[in-house]
Amino acid sequence: MSAKIANKSNTPTMADQADIHNLYEESVQNVEVEVEFLQTTFKALTGRTGYLFREDFCGTAGTSCQWVRQGREFQAIGVDIEPSVLEWGRNNNVSRLPSEDQARVSLIESDVMTVVTPSVDLLAAFNFSYFIFDTRDSLRAYFCRAYEALKDDGVFFLDMFGGPEAQQEMKEKTKHKGFTYVWHQAKFHPITNFIRCHISFRFPDGSRIKKAFTYEWRLWSAPEIRELLTEAGFSKATIYWEGEDEDGDGNGEFTADEKGEADLAWIAYIVAEK
Ligand SMILES: C[S@@+](CC[C@H](N)C(=O)[O-])C[C@H]1O[C@@H](n2cnc3c(N)ncnc32)[C@H](O)[C@@H]1O
């Protein structure tokens, strides 16, 4: 859990008043762009609109809530093992939807390895959450469950990160309005690809929330993920690589790519067709 570093007076610091889930959403999510990518890619691959969406490792379920904003026919199922994060999502994301949209989001407290849901059009596992599986067998077993959860023409969406900087022990700071987001790659073991990362937040008054979130993952490579998806039954697993703007920075537009570029640090989507 997070450690708040307070000042010596009794006045609440900015860290005391902040909410880690709000800070997380602001720092690492862009659910509008994500849902547009999901729907556009699904339509391009299947020739139809996807309506029923499942979000594994949904956390605060921001993507599920954005999904149902597309209209009355759209439904979302969010799955997460942690009751407190689902509770936060219900109170802060689901409850802020127009009341007619709220009933079309179901949040299920469960392990993604055991949850049973109706067959869905699209299934997503974002922000690298499936990196918790640290053997080929356990990751393949999760991919098999994802395969089973989809309709016959369903599509499974994942994201990943890589590049030589992903294997470095380092801190990266990003300024946001009112706080700084700190991504800390604290440990990397090159023999196992074990990586431990922390998310911390710093505030203009000097207060901090240290280690608001900690992840222990295996840093999977693109060929390993693609091979395991195929072994799990998917007919095709394609990497969608990010395009560049004129300065060489990522432009947020992802297109199917067979090779990628030797960037120092990159994020990509993996799109697996049943
Ligand atoms: C990195 S967060 C991702 C949140 C969100 N998907 C996003 O894109 O930001 C990982 C989430 O996975 C959940 N989780 C971890 N293991 C799980 C499991 N076996 N089954 C379901 N949820 C799990 C955690 O509770 C946490 O909310």
State whether the beta carbon of 127 lies less than 6 angstroms from ligand 1: yes
Q: Whose CA is nearest to atom 25 of ligand 1?
A: 82
**CB distance 143 to ligand 1 below 6 Å:** no
Q: Cβ(82) to ligand 1 under 6 A?
A: yes
Contact 171, 196 (CB under 8 A): no
pTM: 0.96
Q: How confident is the model at residue 248 (pLDDT cuts 50, 70, 90)?
A: confident
Average pLDDT in the 36-47 region? 98
Are 33 and 41 spatial neighbours (Cβ–Cβ below 8 Å)?
no
Task: Estimate to the nearest angstrom the gap between the alpha carbon of 202 and the chain centroid.
Answer: 22
Q: Which of 153, 110, 149 is nearest to 232 (CA)?
A: 149
Q: Looking at residues 47-55, what average pLDDT do you find? A: 98
In the chain, % of residues over pLDDT 70: 97
Note the pLDDT of residue 5: 62
pLDDT of 1 > 80? The answer is no
How far apart CA 189 and CA 85 sit, in angstroms, is 29
The model's pLDDT over 130-185, given as tens digits with 9 standing for 90+, comes to 999 999 999 999 999 999 999 999 999 999 999 999 999 999 999 999 999 999 99
Band the pLDDT of 8: cuts 50, 70, 90. Answer: low
Predicted pLDDT of residue 10: 79
107 C-beta closer than 6 A to ligand 1 = no
70: exposed, middle or buried (Cβ count in 10 Å: 0-12, 13-18, 19+): middle
Residue nearest to atom 20 of ligand 1 (CA): 111
| Distance from the alpha carbon of residue 128 to the mean position of ligand 1, in angstroms | 9
What per-residue confidence (pLDDT) applies to 273?
Answer: 98
What is the per-residue pLDDT across 197-243, written as a single tens digit (0 to 9) for each? 999 999 999 999 999 999 999 999 999 999 999 999 999 999 999 99
pLDDT number for residue 249: 85
Q: How far apart, in whole angstroms, are the C-alpha atoms of residue 73 and residue 50?
A: 10
pLDDT in tens, 77-88: 999 999 999 999
Question: Which residue's CA is minimally distant from atom 22 of ligand 1?
Answer: 80
Better pLDDT: 126 or 8: 126
Phi, psi of 130 (to 5 degrees): -75, -5
pLDDT the model gives residue 4: 63
Amino acid at 85: V
Residue whose pair of structure tokens reads 């005391």 in the numeric block:
16
Report the pLDDT value the prediction gives residue 138, as an integer from 0 to 100. Answer: 98
What's the CA gap between 123 and 135, in Å, rounded?
22
Give the residue whose CA is nearest to atom 17 of ligand 1: 81
* CA of residue 8 to ligand 1 center, whole Å: 35
114 lines ligand 1 (CB under 6 A): no
Ligand 1 neighbour 80 (Cβ under 6 A): yes
DSSP summary character for residue 258: S
Q: What is the pLDDT of residue 46?
A: 98
Find all residues with CB under 8 Å of 114, minimum gap 6, and list them. Answer: none
Task: Please give the distance, rounded to the nearest whole angstrom, from the Cα atom of residue 12 to the centre of ligand 1.
Answer: 30
What is the average per-residue pLDDT within 19-42? 97
**CA 116 to each of CA 88, 95, 233: distance values in angstroms, whole numbers, following the listed order:** 23, 25, 19
Residue nearest to atom 9 of ligand 1 (CA): 127
CB 212 within 8 A of CB 200: yes
